[in-house]
Amino acid sequence: MLFYTHLLLGIVGFLLLNKYFSGGYEWLFLLFVLLGSVLPDIDDGKSKIKKASGIIGSVISFLFKHRGILHSLIFALVLFVLLSLWDIYYAWALLIGYTSHLVGDVITPMGIQLFYPFSRWKIRGPIRVGKFGEWIILFGLVVLVIKELFF
């Protein structure tokens, strides 16, 4: 999925789930969701998040292959546990965003290994990145966001 589709998926995740969590600033919760929604692609040398994160992104994208460990639910849970040592509220936010990213990538033909490194089993779908199917999804997400915000 493209950068903006991932952000929109994160926003939808936030709008649907944020009411179940409390214990901090809602705007910061949203920022953590948005960060989580694009963070896995830091392993992609051409991604916006990799470029925006400077040397850290360069090192990570050099060390890890795209859609490898960073695109794993296992890694998302490890991040969740680590962040929850600091603050459970924002750890949930990052997990929501991160999971929304994985959902977005699961439906593409390249797919992801959801349980890497424990399993190399790959889940994939028919929606090709940047093609017609993704634009339909993008449109659907925009409609969902408008519905959640105004109706």
Sole window of 10-18, 75-83, 97-105, 118-126 interacting with Zn ion (rule: CB under 5 A): 97-105
Q: Which two tokens stand for residue 66?
A: 């795209």
| Nearest distance from C-beta of residue 61 to Zn ion, angstroms | 12
Interaction of residue 43 with Zn ion, rule CB under 5 A: no
Q: Which is nearer to Zn ion, 10 or 40 (CB)?
A: 40
Q: Which is nearer to Zn ion, 29 or 50 (CB)?
A: 50
User: Which residues ranging from 66 to 95 are in contact with Zn ion (CB under 5 A)?
Assistant: none
DSSP characters over 84-143 = HTT-HHHHHHHHHHHHHHHHHHHTSTT-B-TTTTT----B--S--TTSHHHHHHHHHHHH
Residue from 80, 105, 106, 114 binding Zn ion (CB under 5 A): 105
Residue from 41, 57, 106, 107 binding Zn ion (CB under 5 A): 41
Residue type, 121: W
Residue 41 dihedral angles phi and psi, to the nearest 5°:
-75, 5
